[in-house]
């Protein structure tokens, strides 16, 4: 049996591509990330032209070597589990510690919840609470939603990201995904699309579950997508928020809140010449203290920092400031 020449294969490929594109105008290659394939790009060749799809990670920061413990915070490197700093303009990681360690995200989960909601629901869509949105535990952040309460998605996103209300996370889930379980499926599909393949989510809030986890690098991928939405950046930069939603009978319910971000509240100050734009906190007993943050340096270049499983709030903000100190 004779082997086909490389020349013949190239011509055959060109013919097949031409046939498939006939009547469709200019060739366009739309090949999304697929976690089940080992290929990162696909090449189409012909006699006269070679075109290659941009690799999935072309515009992403890629973790490098583990950073040393030089200039460590007073509490030491054992006071937190993982920390990373991403230079979005330079596509670099100036600091990298345990990028792929699976950890509990707590309320940082709500960043992904917001993405899925914004991509699948209009901001003026009215959301209605059911019994899954009624949380009674005393140690859970909530606004005490009742069955039949209503608010728009715009209101819900503000309360979700600023106040971190878990009952409002459920409100979004049951209205956008049909159920908490259905919304979790949407979250996992979106995470996979973003390349966050070391993550798994079972709820929209981040309340503790052993099967609900992510990594610092996956958290960067998710947050990096979120900040592509102007509405998201607008909300995470707000110090406080007030609104009026409605109960089951149509009556007004007034709600006011402050952010959980201690930078925006003025309780912690970033290093000189660093501007904190906003971010999302997360805290549970199992997750520790967590924070994913968007900041800018004096040249207006953007950075994402991630600190996970800090021993307490003081360690969390000290470590974040340690990361941001390289921006000066």
Query: Tokens 């909300």 identify what position?
Result: 235
| Confidence (pLDDT) at 66 | 83
| Token pair recorded at residue 11 | 């011509």
55: pLDDT confidence band, cut at 50, 70 and 90? low
Catalytic-residue membership of 67:
no
For residue 20, pLDDT over 90 is answered with: no
261: pLDDT confidence band, cut at 50, 70 and 90? very high
| Confidence (pLDDT) at 34 | 59
Determine the 3-state secondary structure of 166 from DSSP.
helix
Catalytic-residue membership of 242:
no
Contact 99, 91 (CB under 8 A): no
Q: What is the pLDDT of residues 266-325, one digit of tens each?
A: 999 999 999 999 999 999 999 999 999 999 999 999 999 999 999 999 999 999 999 999
- Give the C-alpha separation, 272 to 303, whole Å: 15
| Token pair recorded at residue 210 | 């052993």
Catalytic-residue membership of 164:
yes
Q: Which of 81, 107, 199, 205 is catalytic?
A: 107
For residue 70, pLDDT over 90 is answered with: no
| Confidence (pLDDT) at 211 | 98
| Cα of 133 vs its chain's centroid, Å | 23
Mean pLDDT, residues 208-237: 98
Range with the poorest average pLDDT among 19-33, 68-82, 300-314: 19-33
Per the prediction, the chain carries an average pLDDT of: 88
Compute φ and ψ for 233, nearest 5 degrees. Answer: -60, -40
Q: What is the pLDDT of residues 76-129, one digit of tens each?
A: 999 999 999 999 999 999 999 999 999 999 999 999 999 999 999 999 999 999
Mean pLDDT, residues 249-259: 98
58: pLDDT confidence band, cut at 50, 70 and 90? confident
| Confidence (pLDDT) at 324 | 96
Domains and CATH numbers, the chain: 6-52 (no CATH), 77-101+267-327 (no CATH), 106-258 (3.40.710.10)
31: pLDDT confidence band, cut at 50, 70 and 90? low
| Cα of 128 vs its chain's centroid, Å | 25
Compute φ and ψ for 275, nearest 5 degrees. Answer: -110, 120
Q: Which of 67, 79, 81, 110 is catalytic?
A: 110
| Helices marked H in the chain | 6-21, 109-120, 153-158, 166-176, 180-193, 216-226, 230-236, 313-324
């Amino acid at each position: 049996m004779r082997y086909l020449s490389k020349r013949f294969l190239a011509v055959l490929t060109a013919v097949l591509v031409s046939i498939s594109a006939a009547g469709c105008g200019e060739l366009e290659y739309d090949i999304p990330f697929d976690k089940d394939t080992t290929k990162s790009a696909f090449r189409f060749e012909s006699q006269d032209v070679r075109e290659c799809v941009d690799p999935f990670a072309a515009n992403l920061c890629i973790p490098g070597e583990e950073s040393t413990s030089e200039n460590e915070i007073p509490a030491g490197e054992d006071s937190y589990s993982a920390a990373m700093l991403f230079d979005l303009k330079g596509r670099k990681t100036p600091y990298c510690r345990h990028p792929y360690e699976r950890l509990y995200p707590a309320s940082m989960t709500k960043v992904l919840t917001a993405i899925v909601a914004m991509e699948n629901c209009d901001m003026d869509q009215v959301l209605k609470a059911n019994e899954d949105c009624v949380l009674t535990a005393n140690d859970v952040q909530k606004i005490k939603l009742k069955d039949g309460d209503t608010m728009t998605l715009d209101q819900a996103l503000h309360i979700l990201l600023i106040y971190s209300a878990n009952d409002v996370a459920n409100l979004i889930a049951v209205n956008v995904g049909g159920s908490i379980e259905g919304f979790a499926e949407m979250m996992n599909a979106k995470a996979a699309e973003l390349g966050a393949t070391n993550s798994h989510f079972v709820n929209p809030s981040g309340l503790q579950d052993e099967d609900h986890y992510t990594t610092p690098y996956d958290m960067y991928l998710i947050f990096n997508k979120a900040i592509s939405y102007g509405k998201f950046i607008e909300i995470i930069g707000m110090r406080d928020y007030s609104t009026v939603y409605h109960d089951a009978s149509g009556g007004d319910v007034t709600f006011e809140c402050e952010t959980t971000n201690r930078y925006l509240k003025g309780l912690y100050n970033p290093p000189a010449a660093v501007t904190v734009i906003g971010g999302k906190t997360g805290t549970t007993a199992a997750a520790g203290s967590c924070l994913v943050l968007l900041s800018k340096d004096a040249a207006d270049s953007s950075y994402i920092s991630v600190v996970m499983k800090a021993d307490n709030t003081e360690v969390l903000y000290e470590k974040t400031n340690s990361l941001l100190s390289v921006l000066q």
